Amino acid sequence: MRRVCSYFLCLFLTAAIVCSPAGAHVTRVEIISRMDIQEGKPFGLAGAYEKIVGRVYFGVDPKNIHNARIVDLDKAPRNAQGEVEFSADLYLLKPKDMNKGNGSVLFEVSNRGGKGIHYIVDGRGDYPVEAEVGDGFLMRQGYTVAWVGWEFDIPDEGDRLKLLAPIAHDPGGKEIRGLVRSDFTPAQKTEDMPLGHSLLGPTGGKSYPVADAASAKNILTVRDTPESARQTIPRAQWSFARTVDGKLAPNSHFIHLEGGFLAGKIYEVVYEAKDPSVVGLGFASVRDFLSYLKYDPQSTAPVHRVYAVGISQSGRFLRDFLYQDFNADEQDRQVMDGVIAHVAGGGRGSFNHRFAQPSRDAQPLSSLYFPTDLFPFTDLPETDPETGETAGLLDASNKSRKTPKLFLTNTSYEYWGRAASLIHTSPDGTADAKLGENVRVYLLAGLQHFTAQFPPKKSYPGSPDSSAQQLHNPNPVQWYWRALITDMDQWVKDGAEPPPSTYPKIADGTLVPLAKWNFPKIPGVNKPHEASLAYHLDFGPQWKNGIFTIEPPKVGKPFAVLVPQSDADGNDSGGVRLPELQVPLATYTGWNLRDPSIGLSDLRLSFYGSFIPFAKTAAERGPSGDPRLSVAERYASRDEYMGKFAEAAMKLVHERFLLREDLPTLLERGKREWNEVTGQK
């Protein structure tokens, strides 16, 4: 009998249900597992931490004004209370004694269901896989760290965080149909491709099923470049199917081409789909979960302050979250106090419209002309000279007085691949824009979209789409993140002003049109001849209501995208510069061209920058004609180099872009870089 009781007690503890007060929008939290982190090891004054894995259940009122922007919410099924129900995965790291924490949650908006903040902030890449929290930086600071699913198109397999959203139907349960588009550029020849975005894995993310495989609305095209004319592929040559065990079988989530899709070609399929999910509930899941933590003292992890961070896709999510005024909960209370939107560039995304595909972004050769880089771009109102429209990213949240403190941080890559200049210039690129007092903009110069491994490589095994002409850019972002999180906390909690905005400007010549970009002529280095642009896109007359009727959209005039000017070494000017740029051993760019093996070698590779080392000596660089001074011409010895490197690091400490506690690790990295470039040990 005792064993039976113990069994049911354990079952109860591992699948506990935490209910919210009546009227709360988190209706309950199901705790699936709960365990101590590192066997109860204390993390500084915050003490021991625990990990909670579970599921959050929500109910939202379609009649509440703060839900009015959710497209098709009125077409979702309702419960007896008239609410729309949905749920999302939960992953939470919290002090076992919340009174020992710092009273703040650091909430990472999950990028395609993943959890990346520990890899970046806590240096998990330098620790064993089982050391999930790396060096424990966030825990030592006392943060609760949380993730909740918000994206419906996450594949079922794996442990990625998912949103379970209802399907919309017209009155009487009638099926809803509409146009959906998918595009892709294979890095190697293949016969089958998923209709869902391939960034979610080889089988793609969840895609909308084909409504009628024989419909005349289904069209497959191919072109050589984004601007090239589309060539229609005859219908008899392709099908909605997939090869399984050597046999071709119909499949409403895959497309098959006889003879195969060729490497380096841009393919695009438009098809009539059915059963749209209410994708905009992803905004509600984030809003209501954070409101629950902040305002419900009986929540799973009660806090006083909410800091939200987003990287790439999830940084764009946060920009769109604020633009669509989701920072006010159903009780009209502010949810997020501070936001760091990282490497989002000028983008928002497909997060709240009918048949939306949240994973779609805007890469040089895929996810082209999706609703990603859309006006307005600046936080304060700006006027589009093409349409005459005046608007700002934060108009709605400023009007509702729910605007958080905001950091917009980008690397050099986003100025080439994410139209980042538009967040601080006029739409025509002729003038610098004014920033709001609660906004800081930082260019983290000389970094790529995400940090590459060190020593760097030109490609990763098993990842042909990473094949580049130059070594990947390994400059680390970790130390910036640790400092910026600290700056944000001090700004919100104590009112301490963060570092002033630091980014390239038109006025001082550090931000220029591509035609005026002066990059040194380095032997063996091909330069890009284009940067990704943001365009006026027309998806049809119902687009303002969140419904596409034109796919692909009509592409209008581009906005003016500018790039950071290069110094004599080819490194970017005008931003926050790591010691690697202040005391350089190489050129670090935000662009890298595609290797000829994957086609279109004159175009940029998605997400990657370049690492182009200096010659070791004058004798080595002389015959090649490299205009950049060699290492030996710059520094008499490693000791001299490291002295200058340390001075540059201390400058960043004083400017509050680097924490003093991170100096030893940063200096050790500098030694490794010297050894790698010079070959000395």
Same domain (yes/no): 54, 134 = yes
**Backbone torsions φ then ψ of 638, nearest 5 degrees:** -65, -35
Enumerate residues 6+ apart whose C-beta is below 8 A from 115. 91, 108, 147, 161
Same domain (yes/no): 54, 139 = yes
The total of structural domains in the chain comes to 2
Same domain (yes/no): 78, 130 = yes
Q: Is 201 helix (H, G, I), strand (E, B) or coil?
A: coil
Enumerate residues 6+ apart whose C-beta is below 8 A from 385. 427, 428
- Choose among 616, 642, 644, 613: nearest CA to 631: 616
Print the domain residue range for 88.
25-97+112-168+278-297
Same domain (yes/no): 289, 234 = no
pLDDT value, residue 17: 64
HSE at residue 327, side-chain half, CA atoms within 13 A, is 28
- Looking only at the bridges linking them, the beta strands covering 266-274 and 241-244 are unpaired
Query: Within a domain: residue 159?
Result: yes
Cis before 376? omega within 30: yes
Are the beta carbons of 660 and 653 closer than 8 angstroms? yes
Query: Within a domain: residue 85?
Result: yes
**Dihedral over alpha carbons 246, 247, 252, 254 (to 10 degrees):** 30
Residue 93 burial by Cβ neighbours in a 10 Å radius (0-12, 13-18, 19+): buried
Distance CA 648, CA 543 (A): 50
Where does a domain end: 221, 240, 274?
274
* The 3-state secondary structure of 632-645, one letter per residue: HHHCCCHHHHHHHH
Query: Within a domain: residue 62?
Result: yes
Radius of gyration of the chain (CA): 25
Distance CA 129, CA 124 (A): 8
Strand positions, DSSP E, 61-157: 84-95, 104-109, 144-148
pLDDT value, residue 8: 39
378-384: list long-range contacts, CB under 8 Å, 24+ apart: 378/422, 378/423, 378/424, 378/425, 378/433, 378/435, 379/406, 379/408, 379/423, 379/435, 379/436, 379/439, 380/433, 380/434, 380/435, 380/436, 382/426, 382/427, 382/433, 383/427, 384/427
Where does a domain end: 297, 330, 346?
297
User: Which structure tokens are listed for 680?
Assistant: 């000395």
Same domain (yes/no): 76, 157 = yes
Query: Within a domain: residue 144?
Result: yes
Same domain (yes/no): 242, 151 = no
Query: Within a domain: residue 163?
Result: yes
Same domain (yes/no): 146, 256 = no
Which strands, in side-by-side order, build the sheet including 610-613? 471-472, 610-613, 586-588
Residue 132 burial by Cβ neighbours in a 10 Å radius (0-12, 13-18, 19+): middle
Distance CA 632, CA 635 (A): 5
**Backbone torsions φ then ψ of 261, nearest 5 degrees:** -80, 130
Query: Within a domain: residue 366?
Result: no
Q: Is 33 helix (H, G, I), strand (E, B) or coil?
A: strand
Same domain (yes/no): 264, 282 = no
Same domain (yes/no): 42, 77 = yes
Distance CA 377, CA 393 (A): 6
Report the Cα 265 to chain-centroid distance in Å. Answer: 25
For 172-204, the pLDDT digits (tens) are 889 999 999 999 999 999 999 999 998 888 888
Query: Within a domain: residue 105?
Result: no
Same domain (yes/no): 82, 220 = no
Same domain (yes/no): 159, 284 = yes
Distance CA 456, CA 677 (A): 11
Residues of the chain with pLDDT under 50: 1-14, 22-23
Query: Within a domain: residue 542?
Result: no
Distance CA 471, CA 463 (A): 15
Distance CA 560, CA 427 (A): 6
Are the beta carbons of 627 and 520 closer than 8 angstroms? yes
* The 3-state secondary structure of 273-336, one letter per residue: EECCECCCHHHHHHHHHHHHHHHCCCCCCCCCEEEEEEECHHHHHHHHHHHCCCCECCCCCECC
Enumerate residues 6+ apart whose C-beta is below 8 A from 277. 152, 165, 166, 167, 168
Q: Which amino acid is at 72?
A: D
Same domain (yes/no): 121, 253 = no
Report the Cα 595 to chain-centroid distance in Å. Answer: 25
User: Which structure tokens are listed for 631?
Assistant: 């290492």
Where does a domain end: 205, 240, 274?
274
